Chain A
Amino acid sequence: DAKTTQPNSMESNEEEPVHLPCNHSTISGTDYIHWYRQLPSQGPEYVIHGLTSNVNNRMASLAIAEDRKSSTLILHRATLRDAAVYYCILRDRVDSSYKLIFGSGTRLLVRP
């Protein structure tokens, strides 16, 4: 499985934007870029995913580099509820298992 690299932790102030980076230099043409987050004592929650173009939904935006070797999850206005571990994962679109292999993620701390 292709690997992703994320910072161990990041801090943000409440109500400010947050940019969470992810490097995936060995990404293949069949890999989707997925983002999940895990709040304390809960299962992971889907945030967003994309293939080549930038994506927006009600939770976040995903900016994908033109060469697809990196991506950035953007939280437009951080709240205390956004404090979580954020995982950037590559998912092979031709793998019939549709499985996700989680890395260590980025722990986001939000200061009030």
Chain B
Amino acid sequence: SQTIHQWPATLVQPVGSPLSLECTVEGTSNPNLYWYRQAAGRGLQLLFYSVGIGQISSEVPQNLSASRPQDRQFILSSKKLLLSDSGFYLCAWSKDRDSPLHFGNGTRLTVT
């Protein structure tokens, strides 16, 4: 069966510090991968998606970047965090158009 791992679960970082969140998927190959963010009390915003290794699409301009160095690994990064980067970050994967998105347990990031 397929599983998605996302870590860390919680993170507190000072403004201006770098960020690296990692997501890995097991039990499938060539999945589509996604990063979403949910600010406190708000809806889910799609940040990035990837349809293959090295292929990244950005949905909104922001202080973040994403990379996919391996087939089942998706990384969300920032060189310098802003207060507005605080939120609940969710990684997800999907196999094909007839399959649902499967979400990880998320990382709650607080920038202080």
Contact = CB atoms under 8 A, between A and B. Distances in A.
A93 B36 CA distance: 20
B103 A45 contact: yes
A91 B28 CA distance: 22
Interface secondary structure of A, over-half rule: loop
A100 B101 contact: yes
Interface string A68-101: 0000000000000000000000010111111111
B100 A43 contact: no
B59 to A, nearest CB: 8
Interface secondary structure of B, over-half rule: strand
B103 A44 contact: yes
B102 interface: yes
A97 B49 contact: yes
B97 A102 contact: no
A43 B103 contact: yes
A44 B106 CA distance: 10
- Identify the interface centre among A42, A43, A46: most chain B CB within 10 Å of its CB: A43
A96 B51 contact: yes
B97 A100 contact: no
13 contacts: A32-B97, A41-B88, A42-B105, A43-B92, A46-B102, A95-B97, A97-B51, A98-B32, A98-B99, A98-B101, A103-B43, A104-B43, A105-B43
